[in-house]
Amino acid sequence: MPYLQINLPGHYSGEKKRDLGTRFCELYAKIMKTQSWRPNVGISELGKDNLMRIGENGPETIIMILVEYRRGRPVEYRLDLARKLAEACKEILDVPENSVLVE
């Protein structure tokens, strides 16, 4: 089963997390051409100052998404999925899209 792990730098309402998890499953299913019930989503709220990268001006808060998927998926599918996951975070969590990293 595919697995998507979202590490958040703060705390969000249950509604936003459910919306994000639902959107991630729908996006994965559509782009990877599978059923929406196949992906599993885990959301970890690591809290303030617990998730960052070093940017031009020092530490920057980020959201990290780790995606495990089956072999054989074309690179184009994976890139499209990464873009759409970042857009979903921007829309639902109201964060800058460039703060979302997909691995």
Question: What is the dihedral angle through the alpha carbons of 37, 2, 100, 49, rounded to the nearest 10 degrees?
Answer: 100
Whole-number pLDDT of residue 69: 77
Q: Spell out the SS3 assignment of the chain.
A: CCEEEEEECCCCCHHHHHHHHHHHHHHHHHHHCCCCCCCEEEEEECCCCCCEEEECCEEEECEEEEEECCCCCCHHHHHHHHHHHHHHHHHHHCCCHHHEEEC
Task: Please give the pLDDT value at position 71.
Answer: 76
* Average confidence (pLDDT) per 10 residues, the chain, 103 residues: 94 97 96 92 94 92 91 88 97 93 94
Enter the pTM of the model: 0.91
